[in-house]
Amino acid sequence: MRCRLIPVARTSLVSLRRWGSVGSRQQITRRTASAETISALKELLGDRLSTSRSVLEQHGTDESYHDVTPPDAVAFVESTEEVTEVIKICAATRTPIIPFGAGTSIEGHISAVAGGVSVNLSGMNGILKLDRENMSVKVEAGVTREQLNADLRATGLMFPVDPGANATIGGMVATNASGTTTVKYGNMKTNALSLTAVMADGRIIKTGSKCVLYMEVLPETNLVINCDFAVYRARKSSAGYDLTRLLIGSEGTLAVVTEVELRLSGVPEAEKAMICSFDKMKDAIDTCTTVMQMGIPVARMEMMDENVVDAVNRYSNLNNSLRPSLIIEHHGSANELEQQSSVVQEIARDFGAMDIEVASTSEDRKRLWSGRHSVWHAVLNQVPGSRGFSADVAVPFSKLTEAVVETQQDLKTSGLFGTIVGHVGDGNFHVLIPFTDDNKEHLGRMKAFSHRLVKRALACGGTCTGEHGIGIGKMEYLPMEHGGAVDFMYTIKKALDPQDIMNPGKIFYANDRSN
Amino acid sequence: MRCRLIPVARTSLVSLRRWGSVGSRQQITRRTASAETISALKELLGDRLSTSRSVLEQHGTDESYHDVTPPDAVAFVESTEEVTEVIKICAATRTPIIPFGAGTSIEGHISAVAGGVSVNLSGMNGILKLDRENMSVKVEAGVTREQLNADLRATGLMFPVDPGANATIGGMVATNASGTTTVKYGNMKTNALSLTAVMADGRIIKTGSKCVLYMEVLPETNLVINCDFAVYRARKSSAGYDLTRLLIGSEGTLAVVTEVELRLSGVPEAEKAMICSFDKMKDAIDTCTTVMQMGIPVARMEMMDENVVDAVNRYSNLNNSLRPSLIIEHHGSANELEQQSSVVQEIARDFGAMDIEVASTSEDRKRLWSGRHSVWHAVLNQVPGSRGFSADVAVPFSKLTEAVVETQQDLKTSGLFGTIVGHVGDGNFHVLIPFTDDNKEHLGRMKAFSHRLVKRALACGGTCTGEHGIGIGKMEYLPMEHGGAVDFMYTIKKALDPQDIMNPGKIFYANDRSN
C-alpha cells in the first residue's frame, strides 16, 4: 500500500471516480418531538420552552446555503444541570437534540433534519473564572468571542481565535473553529484546555486534567454518581484518552458542551500590519509560502483576490489597488516587528509586490482589518437580495499556489462570480459566491464547482473543510478524505450515543456504515 | 457544582478519602496463547516468531520498577500487513497483543499482565518519505528518534521531541511522549500529523487528512474493502472525529500504530544555553515561572536539585555548583538569542542566581546537556546494584514552586534518597529514586511517597502523569483525575476493542467500569 501521488495539475480529476456511491445522500427518518416530550420540557423550563413559529424558524436558519429545517421546540437552557434534564427527557422518547449557539454555522449544523429539540445555550453566557496566573479562563458555552474579549480588555490577556463571525465559544468548540490568527495562535484544539459536557445519557463529564475534590461511588458497581472538581490544569498530561479533542470538532453529535476552559494569550506588546498587491495571484501565494517556509513569524496572513478587493473597496469606501493582495500582520516586541516586517517586505518585492502599504498607526491598522472583516457582507452587497455560499478547503503549502490558481480558472470557466479569500498562512482558503434561490441553473453550476473544488483539495492531500466542519454540507466527502477510518469514527458515535439522539443526520450518513 | 479549590499546602490530603474502592487493583485473568495460536503465528512468521525464554524475559522487562511479566511469544513483524495477520490470528482465540518498541517504558506498558503475544516493531524502522516542502516525514513505528535525527542531519530539519530515552516513534505515540524541548516544540500530539494503525479486528486505518486515490466498496453495504492514499496533509482540518489524537496516548489499548507522519522543525539558526544555580529551590522555580509568565521564548528549561547536580558531577566528571540549578536554552536568530538570554539572566539575578555560566561554544553546550541527559544513569550509579523508580507529575505554573518544595520536604521526612529533575517550563517534574528489590521496607516507603506526590499534584489541578502514561503504574489515579469521564473512555475502549485483546490490563481496571 505505497502511495501514488497525483500532481494537482492532473487531478481534476482522475481516479476519484471509483468512490461510487459511498456517501450518497439518503433520506433520514424524522423523529418529531411528541406532545408528551414537549409537555415534560414545558414543565421543566416554563416560558423558556418555545414552540412559536418564528422562534422555530430562526433556530433552523444559519448563515449557510442549506434549506431551513426548523426544530419542533426550542429549549432556552440556563445551566449544565438543565441540559442534563432536557437530554433525559428527550432520550426517553428518542427525540433528537440539536445544540444552538449564535446560529453562525455555514454547513447546516443547526438544521433539525431529523426533527427534535433545539437546545439554545446563548443564555449560558457567564464568564466563570479568570485565572491570570495560569493564563486561562472558564466560560459557559454561550459566551461569544467578542463578549469574552471585551471582558478581558483590562487584563492584558486575550482569547486569540477569530473565525470572523461572532460565534459562541460552544459553537467554536463544535466545529474546531479557527481563522485569521490561527497561523500564530492555533485553533480550538490548541486553545481549549478542558470541557464540561453532557453526554447522551445525561451524565456530566469534565475532560482534561483536574483534581477530583470529592467523589461518591455506588459501592457495588463503582459507578460515579456525584463528584466535584478543581479545574485549573497542568500544561500537559499523558493520562488516558483525549476526550477534550475528541469532542472538539464533533459538531454536537457526541455531547452538548456547556462549559469551556480556554487558554489565553498575552496582548502583544506591539502589532504591525501591511497590505501589498501583486500583478498575479501566483505571486501573492508564492510570497506567502516563502514566508512560511522560511519560518518568519506572522500573526495573520490573509489573501484577497481582485474581486474581494473591489467588493471591500465599494462596501467600506476604501481605495486599495484592484489586484490580488496580501494583508500580513506581526505581533511581538517593537524590535522584532521591525525586523520581521522588513524581511517580509523584501520577499514580497522579490515576487513583484506593488503598493506595499504599512499601517503605522492603530487607526490605519483598524481600517485595514475592517475591510477584511467585512468581506462576507461586502460580497453579498454586490448581488442585491443574495445569500452567500462559502466553500472551505485547506491544502498543503506545496500545493497552495496551484490549487488557488486552478480554482480561479475554474470560476472563470464556469461563468460564476466568485471571490477568493484565504487564511493562506494555514493553506486554507474560501470561495464566497453570492446566489439567489430562484436561479436554479446558477445553483447547479455553483454546487458542481464546489464539488470540483473539494475533490481538487483532496487530490493534493488537503481537507474538504479547513474550519467550517462537515455538518450536512460535506458528508459525502468524509469517506473520501478518511477512508475506512470513518467506520471507526462511527463506532465511537454509536458507542457514546447508541440511540442516535445527539444532532443526528450530521457528519455521517448512518446508513452507509457497516459497524 | 461550583469549584472548591484546596491550596496545595493543605491538600496532603483532605477529601480524597471518599475515592474508596474506585481504582483498587483486582486480579486480571490470564489468557495464555494456545499452542494453535503459536503454531499459526509460526507459520506466518517462521523464525521471526520466538518463544525462547531469554527473548520472552527481555520483552517483559522495561525500565520501570514493575515486576517482569513475560509474554507467551514474541512476533518480530516487518510490515503493517503482517501486523494485521498477527492480530487476526490472536483475535480468533482472544489472545492479548502487546506492542513493543524499544522497551523504554517506565510504567509497565509492555508487561504481559494477561499473557499473550508481544508484537516487536523494531524491525519496522524504515524512513518512508521525507517531504521537505511541507516539512514532514513519514516513518515506520520502529524508527527511534535518534535514528531519525541522524538521518535528517543533512536536511536542515529536525524532529524536536526529546524524551531522553532513545524510544521508538511508535512508543512515543503510545504514551504521548514529550521532554526537554516540549516547552517550545510541543509533545507528540503537536508533532504527529497522521497515523497508520491496525485496529482490533485487523483493519488498517490512516488517520488525519489525506487523499483517497482509490477506493473499492461493497455495493450493498458501502463497506470500504480496499483503498489507497496520498498522505501529504493540510495544516488544519475540521473533518470528522480526531482519531489521530485519540490514538496518541492510548498506550496500545486501541490499536497497533505501524506508521507515523511527523511534523519537522527547522534546525534553529543559533542556539544558546546557560546554567545557573540558586541558594534555594524556591528561587530557581520562581525564576522559571517568571520567565514563562513574561512570555520570553525558551527552547528548554530544566531544573535539577542539588542531589542531581552532585550525581551528574561525579558521573560525568563535571564541576557544577552543588545547588539547585536551571539549564535554560534559547533557539532562534543570533540577535534574538542575545536579547532573550540577557532578559532571562536579569530575572535569574533578581531571584539571587549565582554562577551564571553561559555555554558559548558548541562544545560547552554539548557538555552541559550531556550532564542533564545522563541523569538516569548518574543517579542509579550512586546506589550500586539499584534499579530506578521515576515519578512523573505536572502541575499548573502557579503551584509549581509549592509542589516542588513540598516534595523535597516529603523526601526528607520519609528518609528517602531521591533526586528531582523537571521540565519546569511545562510544570512537569520527576523524582528519581534508586532502589533494590531486596529492601522491602524501603520499597514500601517509596511507594507511599509516590502516592502522596500524585495526590499533591492532583489536588492542585495537576496530572498524575505528565509524559510517562498510565500503564499499570498509575491506573488507580485515572479516576481521581478524570472522574466519570473515565467511564466514557472505557466505553470507547469497549467499542473499538470489544474482545479486550489490545494491551489488556493497562490504563483501566476493567472490572471497575460499569458501562
Of A236, A461, A477, the CB nearest to B230: A461
3-state SS of B204-243?
EEECCCCEEEEEEECCCCCCEEEEEEECCCCCCCCCCCCH
d(C-alpha B146, C-alpha B165), whole Å: 9
The sign of the CA dihedral B181, B182, B188, B191 is negative
CATH domain A30-267+470-509 topology: 3.30.465
Whether pLDDT at B229 is above 80: no
C-beta contacts of B213-218 below 8 A and 24+ residues apart: B213/A3, B213/A4, B213/A6, B213/A15, B213/A16, B213/A459, B214/A15, B214/A18, B215/A18, B215/A19, B215/A20, B215/A22, B215/A479, B215/A480, B215/A483, B216/A18, B217/A20, B217/A21, B217/A22
A484 touching chain B per CB within 8 A: yes
Residues of chain A with Cβ-Cβ distance to B482 below 8 Å are 206-207, 210, 212, 239-240
- The pLDDT of B172-199, averaged and rounded, is 93
Instruction: State pLDDT tens for residues B128-142.
Output: 999 888 788 999 999
- Do B232 and A206 count as a contact with CB atoms less than 8 A apart? no
d(C-alpha A476, C-alpha A19), whole Å: 10
- Do A462 and B3 count as a contact with CB atoms less than 8 A apart? no
Residue B221 has a pLDDT of: 40
Return the number of other C-beta atoms located less than 10 Å from residue A146's C-beta. 13
B417 touching chain A per CB within 8 A: no
CATH domain B270-460 topology: Vanillyl-alcohol Oxidase; Chain A, domain 3 (3.40.462)
Q: What is the band of B188 on the pLDDT scale with cuts at 50, 70, 90?
A: very high
Average pLDDT, chain B: 87
Amino acid at A380: L
Question: From residue A40, how far is each of A49, A119, A160, B19 by CA, in Å?
Answer: 10, 15, 41, 35
Of B250, B295, B484, the CB nearest to A205: B484
* Segments in B374-425 forming alpha helices (H): 375-381, 397-414
In chain A, residues under CATH classification 3.40.462.10 are 270-460
**Percent of chain B's residues with pLDDT above 90:** 69
Whether pLDDT at B465 is above 70: yes
- The pLDDT of B319-326, averaged and rounded, is 94
Could you tell me how many CB contacts below 8 A there are between chain A and chain B? 406
Weakest mean pLDDT among A475-489, B232-246, B480-494: B232-246
The sign of the CA dihedral A388, A394, A397, A398 is negative
d(C-alpha A275, C-alpha A298), whole Å: 13
- The pLDDT of B236-251, averaged and rounded, is 93
Q: How far is A483 from chain B (nearest CA, A)?
A: 7
Q: What is the band of B333 on the pLDDT scale with cuts at 50, 70, 90?
A: confident
Q: At what angle do helices A334-350 and B334-350 cross, to 10 degrees?
A: 170
Residues of chain A with Cβ-Cβ distance to B469 below 8 Å are 238-239
- Do A485 and B207 count as a contact with CB atoms less than 8 A apart? yes
Q: How far is B346 from chain A (nearest CA, A)?
A: 18
Sole residue written with cell 542556539: B271
Helix (H) / strand (E) containing B200:
none
Whether pLDDT at B475 is above 80: yes
Q: Pairing relation of β-strands B419-423 and B224-230?
A: unpaired
In chain B, residues under CATH classification 3.30.465.10 are 30-267+470-509
Residue B223 has a pLDDT of: 42
**Residue B125 per-residue DSSP state:** -
A117 touching chain B per CB within 8 A: no
B245 touching chain A per CB within 8 A: yes
The DSSP annotation for A409-472 comes to: HHHHHTT---EEEEEGGGTEEEEEEEE-TT-HHHHHHHHHHHHHHHHHHHHTT-BS-SSS--TT
**Beta partners for A327?**
A275, A302
Residue A269 has a pLDDT of: 85
Question: From residue B486, how far is each of A205, A207, A233 by CA, in Å?
Answer: 9, 9, 17
- The pLDDT of B466-489, averaged and rounded, is 93
Question: Could you report the predicted ipTM of this complex, rounded to two decimals?
Answer: 0.88
More confident residue, B22 or B276: B276
Q: Is the peptide bond before B13 cis (omega within 30 degrees of 0)?
A: yes
Residue B13 has a pLDDT of: 28
Of B15, B211, B479, the CB nearest to A459: B211
Instruction: State pLDDT tens for residues B284-312.
Output: 999 998 898 787 889 999 999 999 999 99
d(C-alpha A457, C-alpha A463), whole Å: 6
Whether pLDDT at B201 is above 90: yes
Residue from B235, B430, B503, B506 whose CB has the most chain A CBs within 10 Å, to mutate: B235
- The pLDDT of B317-343, averaged and rounded, is 91
pTM (2 decimals)? 0.89
- Do A216 and B488 count as a contact with CB atoms less than 8 A apart? no
More confident residue, B387 or A97: A97
Residues of chain A with Cβ-Cβ distance to B224 below 8 Å are 22, 479, 483-484, 487
More confident residue, B68 or A351: A351
Residue A296 has a pLDDT of: 87
Residues of chain B with Cβ-Cβ distance to A467 below 8 Å are 236, 238
Return the number of other C-beta atoms located less than 10 Å from residue A39's C-beta. 12
Residue A510 has a pLDDT of: 67
Whether pLDDT at B43 is above 80: yes
Radius of gyration of chain A (CA): 23
> Do A36 and A475 meet the contact criterion of CB atoms below 8 Å apart?
no
C-alpha cell at A294: 522560511
Q: Pairing relation of β-strands A117-120 and A97-100?
A: parallel
Instruction: State pLDDT tens for residues B430-461.
Output: 999 999 988 899 999 999 999 999 999 998 88
Q: Which residues of chain A carry a pLDDT beneath 50?
A: 1-25, 211-232, 511-515
Instruction: State pLDDT tens for residues B141-160.
Output: 999 999 999 999 999 899 99
A142-201 residues touching B, CB cutoff 8 A? 175-178, 182, 187, 189, 199
Residues of chain B with Cβ-Cβ distance to A188 below 8 Å are none
Mean pLDDT highest for which of A225-229, B193-197, B509-513? Answer: B193-197
Of B18, B231, B398, the CB nearest to A3: B231
Q: How far is B508 from chain A (nearest CA, A)?
A: 9
